[in-house]
Chain A
Amino acid sequence: MESCPSVKNILLLDSEGNRVAVKYYSDDWPTNSAKEAFEKAVFTKTQKTNARTEAEIAMFENNIVIYKFAQDLHFFVTGGDDENELIISTVLQGFFDAVGLLLRGNVDKKEALENLDLILLCLDEIVDGGIILETDANVIAGKVASHSVDSGAPLSEQCMMLRFEVKQAQFPDFKLNSAARERTF
């Protein structure tokens, strides 16, 4: 196995198994109904497990699925069955924590839908066509947030940006984002 680590899909479902946001990177599920069937199978099988403190793991149709729940949101990341579980798990953690930062700790379905643009941008910053772009939640959230802030943004959002700036010293990537932001102000 000399291939690059890859992610097959990232799913964010609600507590009834409905989509909040999903992104597929592989051809394993060519149609929408195939996708829905997979989501349903994954949701039903993991529903009763306790994946709130630590991420859990299960196997489906020769894929490994790593998942974690928060309130009424279920986070899933899928990889091939010979993928390194810990890599997939890192992607999930990055996604989970980045959403937490972007929703300012109010991780629930309502908040996620109200900020769906942030969630979609977040997915876009984590994986590109199956290849992992970034796994550090602070960096991911930083990139997403820097785009959403404009001069008309509500004060609370700008406060959040301050919180990111504290992290700036730790994460060199952050500089470029703040630089970009200054231009928009």
Chain B
Amino acid sequence: EYSPFSGIEKGAVLQEARVFNDPQLDSRRCSQVITKLLYLLNQGDSFTKTEATEVFFSVTKLFQARDIGLRRMVYLIIKELSPSADEVIIVTSSLMKDMNSKTDVYRANAIRVLCRITDGTLLTQIERYLKQAIVDKNPVVASAALVSGIHLLQTNPEIVKRWSNEVQEAVQSRAALVQFHALALLQQIRQNDRLAVSKLVTSLTKGSVRSPLAQCLLIRYTSQVIRESSMNGQGDRPFYDYLEGCLRHKSEMVIFEAARAITELSGVTSRELTPAITVLQLFLSSSKPVLRFAAVRTLNKVAMTHPMAVTTCNIDMESLISDQNRSIATLAITTLLKTGNESGVDRLMKQITNFMSDIADEFKIVVVDAIRSLCLKFPLKFRTLMGFLSNILREEGGFEYKKAIVDSIVTIIREIPDAKESGLLHLCEFIEDCEFTYLSTQILHFLGIEGPKTSDPSKYIRYIYNRVILENATVRASAVSTLAKFGAMVDSLKPRIFVLLRRCLYDNDDEVRDRATLYLNTIGGDGSVVETDKDVKEFLFGSLDLPLANLETSLKNYEPSEEPFDIRSVSREVKSQPFAEKKAAAKKPTGLGAPPAGPASAVDTYDKLLLSIPEFSTFGQLFKSSAPVELTEAETEYAVNVVKHIFDKHVVFQYNCTNTIPEQLLEDVTIVVDASEAEEFEEVATKPLKSLPYDTPGQTYVAFEKPEGVPAVGKFTNVLRFIVKEVDPSTGEAEEDGVEDEYQLEEFEVVPADYMLKVGVSNFRNAWESLGPDFERVDEYGLGPRESLKEAVSTVIDLLGMQPCEGTEVVAANSRSHTCLLSGVYIGNVKVLVRLSFGVDSAKEVAMKLAVRSEDEAVSDAIHELVAN
């Protein structure tokens, strides 16, 4: 196969690049060589620093040539080489000359290149030209300057912000794309100024915006304004008419953007939705796959919150099941599963069965998830749906797919009691022929919990013992534990279980033998029919309510000594999980297994950090560290936030300070805290920060004593006090003499939630039952009119500072009632569980029933007091 680049080799091309130095330049040849260099870079080859520098220097010679084509290639390669600051200087003057050239092509491109490679200092030199370029009558030049402005705003915001008059003028440009680019830049300059954005939207939605792209952008800004204005007050939704008007735009891009914006309005009514659904429905039968996909994906999202609004599209959706594009088909099916009614389930399942055989695993997983939700919605249909799930469980499939099915069956068993027996048998049959160790062990574990509670536990024993005979060591060990659980829970089975466990003593794997030995010696009764002691059950099968990551860290830190490892020393704080993981967890309820353990994190670091400071080393075990609370507005001279560290008898405030002024050095930074509104606290120590240079965060601490074990609360006022010294920006050296100065910070409070640790439980119902009703306190509260149920739920969760369990913090849109499960550990290491039931009436009055169970009566009462206040 012929290619102009076959056999190309970097070394040779670099040699060839010497033509750039010829006194008589051959433009064509030079262009070709640059193309070859670009080809190499594009294929993933990279130049060493020296090679790049060498190429760069010879390329700069080409500015002598007067050939436009060659010049364009020069621009391209300079951008690709991304030269260093001292190299940039060499081309600056050439590029600045081009920027002021009579040739528009040069000007536009020189602006883009220069802005790409420039740094802040150079930017001030060319700022004047850029401002002119923004309002240049040539649209290509104006666009080049505006787009460069958008990029520069990330690195040099203070400079770009000075251009807003010119950008404002460019928004009125007659050239379509200039208007688009100007609008994008203007909004980014003003994004922190709500009023300005709102004004911009008001004036533009009345006028004429030319290009479809600019129109899409305007729709996005409009949605933003709507979102922010709906936060304060009710009444007619502003700008809705504008969005609806866009549904009749001639460009599909704009129609779709508007339709999507309408469906995403918070608290959208079905009347507002209707016109958007209508245009999306038209798209469903388009000949263009992209249009069908966009429409079905949006409708799928709408179906989650407003299934009734989407039912009008059901016929079009059904025809999409056979769409060539499998993504479209899958989205159509899952939408139908969400919008379908109970009577249609059987017919729909028949259609899906044919469909399942010819799609990839990733699509099947989506379908399985949708079927699980459907089953929870129509519990009476569980036979059909469970049957479907067990059928696909028997077919070929990868791990993720099988796991999705198993998770779904487990969820259904948990939620629908009638489905338990048949569901467990499906799972038993599956592990008879399951190639995934992980799934086998998870199912065995689940069987151990649910099996003994069924009417005839003995029928599961055969499946479990088969694992001991047939499987690998991991699964065998797991099966032994499950057998033991049956033995401990079902006294009548005990003698037979003992026989089976004794056989496991001869297993050739250590873990399996160890487990069998442990169980035989602790379950008790020597194989006779007696009840197993409650403490033993708790010891063997109780949940380990510690985050595993914390346990791991503590074990790693433990140094072998006379003193045994104390499990109570392990921190129980659940680490905040990265956002992505949270999102995933919220999307699907975790079927099997414990809640995901967070990564090792802030708390341990804080713990170590504080212990290393001598003043605080006597305070003992850190109970909890709060999330940082900002004490300054964004973009002020000094940024300060505070982390509250709670100890048994003390509280330490850690102030994280950042100096954002390059011309200043701060020394002897302290925080003066006024605790007159926090009566139970007494200041005991401060740790000042010696020096705070520009942009390097530093910490200063203040410690307070408080009554032991008491959740004392109060308000603290803070002033940042320091000595400020001028810094010469060119040398970076600070002056000798400084001036004392103060900076007022915002106040913050220590609230009851600071004394509550977020500790999740894997199975709330079990935990709730095991705590028992002894210290249960139930009461009802009226919360008054609230903006929404969702807002009320999150307010109460924040107030209590507890960990929501089983994804119950998510409130379905438009639901009238909600139950939320919370768990935590209160100061003094008292386990607390809370069950919140919310209801809302038509006047948005929210009522709440609060049930608390804990290990201590006083704590149960304290939780109620929290809410009552």
Tell me the total A-B contact number using a CB cutoff of 8 A.
Answer: 157
Residues of B within 8 A of A113 (CB): 3-5
A179 CB–B CB distance under 8 Å: yes
Q: State the Cβ distance, A92 to closest chain B Cβ, in Å.
A: 9
> Which 4 pairs show the lowest CB-CB distances between chains A and B?
A85-B294, A32-B44, A86-B253, A2-B224
Question: Number of residues in B with C-beta < 8 Å to the partner?
Answer: 68
- Which stretch of A96-104, A123-131, A159-167 is in the interface? A123-131
Whether B147 pairs with A133 at a CB distance below 8 angstroms is yes
Residues of B within 8 A of A49 (CB): 324-325
A114 CB–B CB distance under 8 Å: yes
Whether A35 pairs with B253 at a CB distance below 8 angstroms is no
The listed residue (A2, A32, A57) touching B187 by CB distance below 8 A is: A2
Whether A147 pairs with B290 at a CB distance below 8 angstroms is no
Whether B213 pairs with A87 at a CB distance below 8 angstroms is yes
A26 CB–B CB distance under 8 Å: no
Whether A5 pairs with B213 at a CB distance below 8 angstroms is yes
Q: CB-defined interface of B510-524 with A at 8 Å, one 1/0 digit per residue?
A: 000000000000000
A74 CB–B CB distance under 8 Å: no
Whether B35 pairs with A116 at a CB distance below 8 angstroms is yes
Whether A86 pairs with B294 at a CB distance below 8 angstroms is yes
- Which stretch of B68-76, B202-210, B235-243, B348-356 is in the interface? B68-76
Whether B325 pairs with A57 at a CB distance below 8 angstroms is yes
Please, how many angstroms separate the alpha-carbon atoms of A159 and B102 in the complex?
26
B216 CB–A CB distance under 8 Å: yes
Q: State the Cβ distance, A88 to closest chain B Cβ, in Å.
A: 8
Instruction: List which A105-143 residues lie within 8 A (CB) of chain B.
Output: 109-110, 113-114, 116-117, 120-121, 124, 128-129, 131-135, 143
Taking A128-B147, A133-B143 as contacts, is the C-beta distance between A85 and B256 under 8 angstroms?
A: yes
Whether B289 pairs with A56 at a CB distance below 8 angstroms is yes
B287 CB–A CB distance under 8 Å: yes
B122 CB–A CB distance under 8 Å: no
Please, how many angstroms separate the alpha-carbon atoms of A134 and B143 in the complex?
10
Question: Number of residues in A with C-beta < 8 Å to the partner?
Answer: 58
Residues of A within 8 A of B212 (CB): 90
Taking A49-B325, A84-B256 as contacts, is the C-beta distance between A110 and B3 under 8 angstroms?
A: yes
Residues of B within 8 A of A179 (CB): 104
Residues of A within 8 A of B537 (CB): none
Please, how many angstroms separate the alpha-carbon atoms of A177 and B108 in the complex?
12
B611 CB–A CB distance under 8 Å: no
Whether A117 pairs with B35 at a CB distance below 8 angstroms is yes
Whether B147 pairs with A57 at a CB distance below 8 angstroms is no
7 CB-based A-B contacts, threshold 8 Å: A54-B289, A57-B290, A59-B327, A85-B294, A113-B4, A114-B4, A117-B31
Whether B184 pairs with A4 at a CB distance below 8 angstroms is yes
Residues of A within 8 A of B548 (CB): none
Residues of B within 8 A of A66 (CB): 290
Please, how many angstroms separate the alpha-carbon atoms of A19 and B5 in the complex?
12
Taking A59-B327, A147-B68 as contacts, is the C-beta distance between A86 and B42 under 8 angstroms?
A: no
Whether B288 pairs with A54 at a CB distance below 8 angstroms is yes
Taking A120-B35, A131-B184 as contacts, is the C-beta distance between A1 and B140 under 8 angstroms?
A: no
B783 CB–A CB distance under 8 Å: no
Please, how many angstroms separate the alpha-carbon atoms of A1 and B257 in the complex?
11
Residues of B within 8 A of A59 (CB): 327
Residues of B within 8 A of A56 (CB): 289-290, 325
Residues of B within 8 A of A173 (CB): 139-140, 175
Whether A58 pairs with B73 at a CB distance below 8 angstroms is no
The listed residue (B34, B42, B140, B297) touching A22 by CB distance below 8 A is: B42
Whether A54 pairs with B287 at a CB distance below 8 angstroms is yes
Taking A59-B327, A177-B105 as contacts, is the C-beta distance between A121 and B140 under 8 angstroms?
A: no
B625 CB–A CB distance under 8 Å: no
Whether A116 pairs with B39 at a CB distance below 8 angstroms is yes
A50 CB–B CB distance under 8 Å: yes
Whether A86 pairs with B252 at a CB distance below 8 angstroms is yes
Q: CB-defined interface of B64-88 with A at 8 Å, one 1/0 digit per residue?
A: 0001110111001000000000000
A170 CB–B CB distance under 8 Å: no
Q: CB-defined interface of A140-161 with B at 8 Å, one 1/0 digit per residue?
A: 0001001111101000000000
Please, how many angstroms separate the alpha-carbon atoms of A117 and B288 in the complex?
32
Residues of A within 8 A of B177 (CB): 133-134
Whether A87 pairs with B69 at a CB distance below 8 angstroms is no
Residues of B within 8 A of A128 (CB): 112, 144, 147-148, 151
The listed residue (B73, B223, B288, B293) touching A2 by CB distance below 8 A is: B223
B260 CB–A CB distance under 8 Å: yes
Please, how many angstroms separate the alpha-carbon atoms of A183 and B101 in the complex?
12
B138 CB–A CB distance under 8 Å: yes
B103 CB–A CB distance under 8 Å: yes
Nearest B residue to A32, CB-CB: B44
Please, how many angstroms separate the alpha-carbon atoms of A93 and B8 in the complex?
31
Residues of A within 8 A of B4 (CB): 113-114, 116
